[in-house]
């Protein structure tokens, strides 16, 4: 970090941001502290975002800039971790407590959006992606994306999910049109963040974590990001206006809250519980078998995240126990019930690499080589459906894309090997040779 400041000639007083540290992979097996950052960069406000995207560490100058002190209370749905036997913040801010820091970071970096837009599209295309999805997109970024689309700068299609904090104003804004593509860009619905990260131990469970949880001393089950009342209000508002909801839920206790909100909204609005709204549970990481059955009954669909089996499967076994860890992202159980699960990278939490995601769904091998849930290892064909035809279905794009069918867009890739025929462990080594968007090559290796 010190070298980064010197190399980029960053003056004292200017913000410095970092992304992607993983406390579980650090030698100390803990988060850095403000004092450790202060020792390296005492004259700049510094904020480091955890790889989960659900917490981060700020140094003393950054805490002061964002008005976080010993007298600052924990916000609803968040934790400001304190120094031992003190109320003084140690630098770690979790869930809603990090929102001001992330908001500040995004505001400062927004000026660089045009500079990075083309290179980002190239990166996605090089990984064989012809339609990308951006979650929690604020109003200004939606306008930026639409301006790029209208200027003919889109090489791939982009689906945005607006942020839930702007739900009411977005629904009342006649300039925003949901569920309709315009020059390759559409706003599909609204994203709600309902809980935190399982590896960060903030995901909300019905049973406690088995290992020590930062900022918690007893019955440590994580925490919801929103109250049941707030989630209920968002569901009533969205369902009343036919706005598709995508809800971030990792822990089973949060999924219980979402099911309650669904039932409450249908009751208040006098709508059938099984209306085809396609409410999507993003991650649904530790959905229980009974919850999957409820998804079927209520036409709710999961979007799983099997990359977790590789990156944090070993941590989940320690933190949650083998039984819960083995049922993470239960792709096979969901498919057996007739659900149409998707699978994602949650970039930048894990790399943008659909073939790696297929590999994790098929093999469920952890960093240490352990198999995380042998019964939930899916076939390569089902793993491919999760990132193609099932994805199109969840976005109401089934008639447009997802399969090579006459009348649909000619969006496809040419690979150097067949994922259905290579050894399962070799799937991650398959290369994208060419990416074709609507019949036109947009990437060639």
Q: Is residue 112 part of a domain?
A: no
Residues 39 and 172 grouped into a single domain: no
Domain with 8, as residue range(s), is 2-107
101, 182: one domain: no
Give mean pLDDT, residues 111-124: 91
pLDDT higher than threshold 90 for residue 215: no
Whole-number pLDDT of residue 378: 98
Does 113 have pLDDT greater than 90? no
pLDDT score recorded for residue 225? 93
For position 281, which CATH number holds?
3.20.20.140
Residue 190 is assigned to a structural domain of this protein: yes
Residues 367-405 pLDDT 10s = 999 999 999 999 999 999 999 999 999 999 999 999 999
Q: 23-32, 60-69, 374-383 — which is least confidently predicted?
A: 23-32
Domain with residue 58: its CATH number is 3.10.310.70
pLDDT at 143 over 90: yes
More confident residue, 58 or 85: 58
d(CA 381, CA 126): 22
Whether 377 maps to a domain, the answer reads: yes
Domain boundary among 84, 107, 130: 107
Task: Return the structure tokens found at 179.
Answer: 């569920």
> Averaged over 206-227, what is the pLDDT?
93
Q: What is the mean pLDDT of residues 305-319?
A: 97
Please check whether residue 302 is in contact with residue 287, taking contact to mean a CB–CB distance below 8 angstroms.
yes
Q: How confident is the model at residue 258 (pLDDT cuts 50, 70, 90)?
A: very high
79 phi and psi angles, rounded to 5 deg: -135, 130
Residues 156 and 180 in one domain: yes
Distance, in Å, from the CA atom of 163 to the CA atom of 136, rounded to the nearest integer, reads: 4
The C-alpha atoms of residue 80 and residue 193 are separated, in whole angstroms, by 19
Q: Which strands sit side by side in the sheet containing 432-437, from one edge to the other?
A: 412-415, 432-437, 440-444
Structural contact between residues 179 and 161, judged by C-beta atoms closer than 8 angstroms = no
Residue 73, pLDDT above cutoff 90: yes
Q: Is residue 381 part of a domain?
A: yes
Q: Are residues 354 and 268 in the same domain?
A: yes
Domain count, the chain: 2
Shared domain for 91 and 122, answered yes or no, is no
Neighbours of 181 (CB within 10 A): 16
Long-range contacts of 355-358 (CB under 8 A, 24+ apart): 355/128, 355/415, 355/419, 355/427, 355/428, 355/430, 355/432, 356/307, 356/428, 357/306, 357/307, 357/383, 357/387, 358/383, 358/384, 358/387, 358/419, 358/427
| Residue 106 pLDDT greater than 90, yes or no | no
Query: What pLDDT sits at residue 321?
Result: 98
In terms of domains, do 134 and 96 share one?
no
- Give, in order, the Cα–Cα distances in Å from 68 to each of 15, 42, 73, 74, 96: 16, 17, 9, 10, 13
Categorize the per-residue pLDDT at 52 as very low, low, confident or very high, splitting at 50, 70 and 90: confident
What pLDDT, in 10s, does the model give residues 77-100? 899 999 999 999 999 999 899 999
Q: In the prediction, which pLDDT does 146 show?
A: 96
Residue 407 to residue 339: CA distance in whole angstroms: 25
Tell me what percent of the residues of the chain surpass a pLDDT of 90: 93
One domain, residues 338 and 432: yes
What is the band of 417 on the pLDDT scale with cuts at 50, 70, 90?
Answer: very high
Confidence of residue 110 (pLDDT cuts 50, 70, 90): confident
| Whether residue 52 is found in the same domain as residue 151 | no
Q: Is residue 113 part of a domain?
A: no
359, part of any domain: yes
Q: Look at residue 109 and tell me whether its pLDDT is greater than 90.
A: no
Q: What is the pLDDT of residue 387?
A: 98
In a domain, 401, yes or no: yes
Whole-number pLDDT of residue 87? 94
Q: Cα dihedral sign for 362, 366, 367, 368?
A: negative
Residues 68, 80: contact at Cβ < 8 Å?
Answer: yes
Domain C-terminal end among 87, 107, 127: 107
Among 212, 215, 223, smallest CA distance to 82 is for 215
Shared domain check, 285 and 264:
yes
pLDDT digits (tens, 9 = 90+) for 181-207: 999 999 999 999 999 999 989 999 999
Mark whether 94 and 128 lie in a shared domain.
Answer: no
**Residues 88 and 145 occupy one common structural domain:** no
Domain boundary among 70, 85, 107: 107
User: In whole numbers, what is the pLDDT of the chain averaged over residues?
Assistant: 96
Distance CA 77, CA 56 (A): 15
Looking at residue 240, its pLDDT comes to: 98
pLDDT at 348: 86
DSSP string, 67-103: T--TTPPPPTTEEEEE-TTS-SEEEEEEEGGGHHHHH
Mean pLDDT of all residues in 259-280: 98
Residues contacting residue 189 through CB under 8 Å, at least 6 positions apart: 161, 162, 178, 179, 238, 243, 244, 245, 246
Instruction: Give the whole-angstrom CA distance, residue 393 versus residue 69.
Output: 47
Contact present, 91 and 58 (Cβ < 8 Å): yes
pLDDT at 222 over 90: yes
Q: Are strands 89-95 and 78-82 parallel, antiparallel or unpaired?
A: antiparallel
Residue 273 pLDDT: 98
Contact predicate 42/2, CB 8 Å:
no
144 shares a domain with 41: no
Residue 22 in any domain: the answer is yes
Q: Rounded mean pLDDT of 337-359?
A: 96
pLDDT of 77:
87
Q: What is the mean pLDDT of residues 36-59?
A: 95
């Amino acid at each position: 970090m010190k070298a980064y400041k010197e190399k980029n000639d960053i003056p004292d007083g200017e913000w410095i941001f970092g992304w992607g540290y993983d406390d579980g992979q650090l030698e100390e097996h803990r988060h850095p502290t403000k004092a450790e950052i202060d020792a390296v960069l005492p004259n700049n406000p510094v904020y480091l975002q955890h790889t989960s995207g659900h917490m981060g560490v700020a140094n003393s100058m950054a805490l002061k800039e964002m008005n976080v002190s010993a007298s600052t209370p924990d916000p609803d749905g968040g934790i400001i971790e304190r120094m031992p036997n003190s109320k003084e913040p140690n630098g770690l801010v979790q869930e809603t407590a990090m929102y001001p820091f992330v908001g500040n970071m995004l505001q400062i970096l927004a000026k660089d959006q045009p500079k990075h837009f083309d290179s980002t599209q190239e990166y996605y295309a090089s990984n064989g992606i012809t339609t990308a999805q951006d979650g929690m997109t604020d109003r200004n970024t939606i306008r930026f994306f639409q301006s790029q689309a209208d200027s003919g700068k889109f090489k791939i299609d982009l689906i945005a999910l607006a942020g839930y904090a702007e739900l009411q104003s977005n629904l009342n804004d006649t300039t925003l049109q949901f569920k309709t593509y315009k020059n390759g860009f559409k706003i599909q619905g609204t994203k709600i963040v309902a809980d935190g990260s399982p590896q960060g131990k903030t995901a909300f469970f019905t049973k406690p974590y088995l290992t020590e949880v930062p900022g918690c001393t007893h019955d440590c089950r994580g925490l919801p990001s929103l109250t049941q009342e707030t989630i209920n209000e968002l569901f009533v508002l969205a369902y009343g206006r036919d706005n598709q909801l995508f809800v971030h839920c990792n822990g089973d206790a949060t999924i219980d809250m979402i099911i309650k909100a669904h039932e409450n909204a249908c009751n208040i609005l006098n709508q059938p519980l099984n209306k085809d709204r396609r409410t999507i549970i993003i991650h649904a990481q530790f959905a229980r078998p009974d919850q999957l059955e409820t998804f079927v009954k209520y036409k709710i669909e999961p979007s799983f995240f099997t990359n977790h089996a590789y990156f944090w499967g070993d941590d989940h076994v320690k933190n949650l126990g083998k039984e819960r860890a083995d049922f993470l992202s239960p792709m096979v159980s969901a498919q057996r019930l007739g659900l149409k699960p998707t699978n994602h990278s949650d970039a930048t939490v894990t790399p943008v690499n659909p073939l790696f995601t297929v590999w994790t769904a098929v093999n469920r091998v952890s960093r240490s080589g352990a198999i995380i849930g042998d019964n939930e290892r899916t076939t390569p064909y089902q793993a491919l459906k999760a990132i193609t035809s099932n994805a199109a279905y969840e976005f109401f794009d089934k008639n447009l894309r997802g399969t090579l069918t006459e009348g649909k867009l000619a969006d496809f890739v040419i690979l150097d090997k067949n994922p259905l025929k290579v050894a399962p462990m070799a799937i991650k080594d398959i290369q994208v040779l060419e990416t074709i968007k609507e019949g036109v090559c947009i990437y060639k290796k």
